[in-house]
Amino acid sequence: MDCNPRSLLFVLFLLLSCVSPSYPIIYPPNEVNLLDSKASQGELGWISYPSHGWEEISGVDEHYTPIRTFQVCNVMEYSQNNWLRTNWIPRQSAQKIYVELKFTLRDCNSIPLVLGTCKETFNLLYLETDDDQGSHFREHMFIKIDTIAADESFTQMDLGDRILKLNTEVREVGPMIKKGFYLAFQDVGACVALVSVRVYFKKCPYTVRNLASFPDTVPMDSQSLVEVKGSCVNHSKEEEPPRMYCSTEGEWLVPIGKCLCNPGYEERSNTCQMCRAGFYKSTLGNMECSKCPPHSFSHHEGSLHCGCEKNYFRADGDPASMACTRPPSAPRNVISSINETSVILEWSWPEDTGGRRDITFTVLCKRCRSVGGSGSGSNGGALRCEPCRSNVRFLPRAVGLHNTTVTVGDLLAHTNYTFEIEAQNGVSSLAPKMRQYAAVTITTNQAAPSPVTVIRKEKTSRNSVSLSWLEPERPNGIILDYEIKYYEKEEQETSYTILRARGCNVTLNGLKPDTAYLLQIRARTAAGYGASSPSFQFETSPDSAFSISGENSQVVLIAISSAVAIILLTVLLYVLIGRFCCHSKSKHPDEKRLHFGNGHLRLPGIRTYVDPHTYEDPSQAVHEFAKELDASCIAIDKVVGAGEFGEVCSGRLKLPSKKEICVAIKTLKGGYTDKQRRDFLAEASIMGQFDHPNIIRLEGVVTRSKPVMIVTEYMENGSLDSFLRKHDAQFTGIQLVGMLRGIASGMKYLSDMGYVHRDLAARNILVNSNLVCKVSDFGLSRVLEDDPEAAYTTRGGKIPIRWTAPEAIAYRKFTSASDAWSYGIVLWEVMSYGERPYWEMSNQDVIKAVDEGYRLPPPMDCPATLYQLMLDCWQKERNNRPKFEQIVSILDKLIRNPGTLKITANTTSRPANLLLDRSSSEVPSMGTMGDWMDGMRTLPCKEAFSGVSYSSCDTLAKTSTDRVVLTEVHVTPASCPEWEPSMGITTL
C-alpha cells in the first residue's frame, strides 16, 4: 500500500463507500436543504485557498453515483492554513440553519513521521452577506462556528491495516439576518476528506390535523413556539378555531380546536368526501356516513337523509337513522265478555306492527239496530249503526290505549253494539287509506241494580251495631239479597267480614268496643251484583271506666319507675361521654382520624395525618407537633428567599448538648393578623407530623417571642426548578432518576399518611448539597393562595393549572391520584431541566388541550421509560395512574439497570401504557455499585458505602433502597459547616 498519507486517505474513503448501506437517503420532511453537496454531480466550484490545500476530487457513493468531495492532507508540513469556501448560499426564510458534515479524518498515530505537524481537527466558519461576492474572499471576516473533531478516527474493521470511519457532525448557526451566507472549512494540518456537506433549516411542514390545514411554517430561532391558525378543509366547518404550535425543532405541537365535515360529507384521509349513494349523513360532525336504514334509499352522493320507499313513511319526530315504517295491521283475536250492561273487550297485538313500537289502540263504539224484515240484528239481518251515546264509559279510556283490553260500561240493557278496535302507530295519520281495524258486535243483558245510597245507624253498643238502608234507586229487577262487607278502619281492608241479608237491615255482633268500622253494601239481582255503596263509618261504644286491678297497678308502677330510671341513666351517660370526648379530642391526635383522613381507610399501626384545623385552638396543634425553641439558640445569617408571610433566612441552631446545625428560618413579618399567625403556624403543625428523609424536616418553632419563626433543616441548593435551570444539561440520567426517586419516596410517605399535597411542583421541592430532594411547602388552603402559579378556576378556588389533574381542576377532586398527576409534571420539569410545562400556552389552552387528550411531549433525550411513566401519571382515569409505591419501585428498577436510560423517547410516537406491567427481566442489568456512586457523585455517601460489603446496585437496592437516601441524610450535617451556595455543585 502507498505510504503517502493523502492517497491513503482517498483509498480508504473509497473503500468506506463500498461498505456503506445501499439505500437512498430520505431526509426528514421537516428539513429543507439549502445546500447538499451530494446532489451536485458536476464541479462544486468552491474556492480553495491556497491552491495546494484543499482539492476537489470525484468519487462515487454507495450507488455508484458520482459525488464531489474535498480533501486535504498536508500533515508533514508545519503552519498549515488551508481554506475551503462554499458558494454563496441564499438563506431563504430560515432563521436558524444546521450544517451536517460527513467526513473522514486520519488518526495522526497511524501516519509515520508526522509527530508535531499532524492535526486531528479542522474549523467550521461562516460569513453572512446580503449578496454573492463571487470569488472575493477574506479570511478574517469569517466567524468560527466550531472546531470539528472526529468521534472515532478508526473502526475496528480489519483491512490489512485499519479503515477510516465516516464521521457525521451537525452544528447549528443562528439567528441569521442577512440574505445569504458562506461556509468555510479551515484546515490547520489534518488529514481530512470532506465527503459531504449538507446545509438545511427546519420547518413545520404543511399538515392537516383535525381537518384543518396548517401551512409550511418556519420556526423562530428563539425558544418560543409559533402559534399557527389552521383553515378548515373543503366541505367542513370550524367547531372551534383550529390552532397549533410550531416548535423550534420543526415539530407541530398541541393541536387545539377542530373542523367538522358538513352534512352529506364524511372524513376520509384528512378530507371531507361526499357520502356514497345508499348512504347519508344528516349532521355536521366527523362521524362516517351511515347506510340508508331499511325501507329507505338515496340515489345520489352527498345525501343528507334517505327517502322512504312506497307505502313507507317517516313520522315527524323520527330520526334519520330510523327505518321507514307503515301503519300496523288490525288487532287480532278480539274477545268480548259481557257482564250485564258492560263488556270487557280483549284482543291481541297486530301481526304487523309496521316496524314501530309506538302502538296504541282506539276503540270506537257504535250502537246498531237491525233494519229490514228479519228483526234479529244479531242473527245476520242488516244493521244500521250510529255512534254510541256520550255517557258510555270506557275504562281506562277509548283512545290511546297501551294495553290490549278495555272495559265499556253504562251501555243500555238488551242492546246491540259494535266495537271497532284499531291499532295505530306514529305513521297511521300519514296513510289514512292503509288503516285497518277489527270489529266485534255484542248484545247487552239485564242491568245490575244501582248502588245503595242511604244507610242509617239504629243502635250501637260496646260489641254490636244495628243498621238499616233504603233499597237502590234503580233495582233493575228483583233484589235477591244484599252483601254487607265491614272491617276495622285501622286495618284498612286487610281483613274484613262479609254478611248477607235478605231485608234492608242487619245487626253486626262481636265487634270491638270503642272502635271505628267501615262498611259497604251492594244489592244482587238475577243480573248480578250492583255497584257497592260509598263507605259508611260507625263506631262502637267505649268501655265504661278505666279500672286497673291491684296486680295490674303494681305492674304499671314498676314500668313507669323503670322508664324514669332508664331516662336518667341515659342522660348521665351522655354527659359523661360528651366530656370524655372533648377531653380526648385535644389530647390524642390519632383518635381524631374519623374526622378527616380524606376518605382513606387507614390501617392500624400506620400514623395518620391530623388536620390542624380540627383543633379548636390552633396554637395547641402547633405545640403538639412542633418543638418550641428558645430564640437565643438561633443565629440568623442571611436572607435566602421570600415566603408569603415574611423572609426566609439561613442560619444556625445550637441546642444545649447538641451539635450546631444549619437551618432555614421562616419569619412572620410584623403587623400580622390572628388568622395570618394561625395560617403561618399551620405549616409547622403539618410538617411536624412528618418524619421522612424526603420530606423537609421541622426543627421547631418560636411562638413565645417575636418574631414568630418556623425553623427547618437547611437545603443548600434551594428550590428544584431554579436549581435545574441553573445547571441545564449538567446531570447524568442516573442523578436525575435519583432525585425523582427521592421525591416519589417522600410522596409515598405523604399518601400513606393520608395527606394530599395539592401543589406538588418542582418549585416546591428543595434540594440539599447532596442532591437529595425533599418535598416542602405544606399548608392548607393557603398553599394555593401563596403559589404564584395558582390561578382562579371557574368554580372559584385557586389552582396551579399546569400541575393539576383534570378532575381536581373540574370539580376539586384532590387525592393522592391527583398528586400522582402532578408528580408526572414534576418528572417532566426535571427531565427538561426546569422548562415551564406547556411553555407559554395560556391556562385556558392547557385545560382544553389536556381535556382533548394532548399530553406534553418527551423532553429532549428523555429516556423512554421515564416518558412512559409520565404518560402513566397523566392517565385521565385517575384509578389507572400509578400509586407512589409503584413509582418508587419503577425508579428503583431504573437505578438498578441504568442501561435502560439509554433508550430515549421518540417525540413522534406515543408509547402505550405498558410501563407498570413491564417485568424487571426485560430491562438488562448493567449497573454496578461504582456506576451508581459515580452517578450520584456523593463522596461522603460513597465512602459510607465503601465500608459495607455491597457488591452491586442490585444487592443494594434489594437490601433497602431507602438506606441509600438515609445514608446521604446522615452525612449531610457533617458537610454542613462548609456550605456555600456553590458547594452543592462542586460536590456533584
CA distance 289 to 694: 57
Cβ distance to ligand AMP smaller for residue 766 or 791: 766
Name residue, grid cell 428550590.
Answer: 719
> Please, which residue, 47 or 648, has the CB nearer to ligand AMP?
648
**Is 646 flagged in the annotation as binding?**
yes
User: 600 or 782: whose CB is closer to ligand AMP?
Assistant: 782
* Shortest distance (Å) from residue 97 CB to ligand AMP: 40
Please, what is the minimum distance in Å from the beta carbon of residue 684 to ligand AMP?
Answer: 12
To the question of whether residue 923 is assigned a binding role by annotation, the answer is no
Closest residue to ligand AMP using C-beta atoms: 641
Phi and psi at residue 199, in whole multiples of 5°? -120, 125
Mark whether 759 is an active-site residue: yes
Collapse the DSSP code of 421 into the 3-class scheme (helix H, G, I; strand E, B; otherwise coil) and give the result: strand
User: Which triple of cell numbers denotes residue 960?
Assistant: 433497602
Distance, in Å, from the CA atom of 857 to the CA atom of 245, rounded to the nearest integer, reads 13
Sign of CA dihedral 48, 51, 53, 59: positive
- Return the number of other C-beta atoms located less than 10 Å from residue 911's C-beta: 14
Query: With contact defined as beta carbons under 8 Å apart, do 366 and 387 qualify?
Result: yes
Of 536 and 714, the one with the shorter C-beta distance to ligand AMP is 714
Measure the CA angle with vertex 545, ends 544 and 548; round to 5°: 140
Alpha helices in 880-952 (DSSP H): 884-896, 929-936, 939-946
Beta carbon nearer to ligand AMP, 183 or 684: 684
Min. distance of Cβ 856 from ligand AMP in angstroms?
23
Q: Which three cell numbers stand for residue 295?
A: 325501507
Which of these is catalytic: 611, 759, 786, 845? 759
Minimal distance, residue 756 CB to ligand AMP, in Å: 18
Rounded Cα distance, 548 and 601, in Å: 57
* 745, three cell numbers: 419516596
Q: Measure the CA angle with vertex 365, ends 359 and 368; round to 5°.
A: 145
- For ligand AMP, the closer CB: 292 or 661: 661
Per the CB < 8 A criterion, the answer to whether 527 and 446 are in contact is yes
- 428/804 with CB nearer ligand AMP: 804
C-alpha 621/C-alpha 607 separation (Å) is 16
Q: Is residue 683 a known part of a binding site? A: no
643 labeled part of a ligand binding site: yes
Output the smallest distance, CB 940 to ligand AMP, in A.
19
3-state secondary structure of 630: coil
Q: For residue 927, which phi and psi values (nearest 5 degrees)? A: -75, 145
DSSP 189: S
What would the grid cell of residue 482 be? 244484599
Radius of gyration over every alpha carbon of the chain, rounded to an integer in angstroms: 47
Burial 764-786 (b: 16+ CB within 10 A, else e): bbbbbbbbbbbbbbbbbebbbeb
In order of 70, 166, 847, 886, the CA distances from 873 in angstroms are 52, 42, 16, 11
**471 labeled binding residue:** no
CB of 680 to ligand AMP, least distance (A): 10
Interacting residues of 304 by C-beta distance below 8 A, sequence separation 6+: 263, 264, 280, 281, 282, 320
| Numbers of helices and strands, H then E, in the chain | 16, 49
Asked if 765 and 826 touch (Cβ cutoff 8 Å), the reply is yes
- Cβ proximity to ligand AMP, 324 vs 664, nearer residue: 664
Total number of residues shown for the chain: 988
Q: At its nearest, how many Å lie between ligand AMP and the CB of residue 624?
A: 22
230 annotated ligand binder? no
- Is the Cβ–Cβ distance between 809 and 793 less than 8 Å? yes
Compute the least distance from the CB of residue 965 to ligand AMP, in Å: 17
Nearest CB to ligand AMP, comparing residues 455 and 696:
696
Helix (H) / strand (E) element for 962: namely helix 953-975
State which amino acid sits at residue 219.
P
**Nearest C-alpha neighbor of 455 from the set 498, 486, 430, 418:** 486
CA distance 804 to 826: 11
Q: State the nearest-atom distance from the C-beta of 679 to ligand AMP, in Å.
A: 12
For residue 644, say whether it is annotated as part of any ligand binding site: yes
Q: How far is the CB of 719 from ligand AMP (least distance, A)?
A: 4
For ligand AMP, the closer of residues 640 and 966 by Cβ is 640
Provide the minimum distance between the beta carbon of 723 and ligand AMP in the complex, in angstroms, as a whole number.
9
Cβ count near 821 (within 10 Å): 24
With vertex at residue 582, the alpha carbon angle to CA 576 and CA 585, rounded to the nearest 5 degrees, is 135
Q: Which residues pair with 460 in a beta bridge?
A: 465
Q: In 470-569, where do the E strands start and end?
A: 481-488, 497-501, 505-508, 516-525, 528-529, 536-539
331 or 746: CB nearest ligand AMP: 746
CA distance 676 to 707: 13
Question: Which chain residues interact with ligand AMP by CB under 6 A?
Answer: 640-644, 648, 664, 696, 712, 714-715, 718-719, 766, 776-777
Tell me whether residue 267 or residue 716 sits nearer to ligand AMP (CB atom): 716
> Strands 647-653 and 536-539: what pairing?
unpaired
In the complex, the smallest distance separating the C-beta of residue 835 from ligand AMP, rounded to whole angstroms, is 18
Give the residues across from 339 on adjacent strands.
Answer: 342
Closest CA to 54 of 137, 110, 144, 153: 137
Known binding-site residues for ATP equal 640-648, 666
* Active-site residue list: 759
Binding-site annotation: residue ranges: 640-648, 666
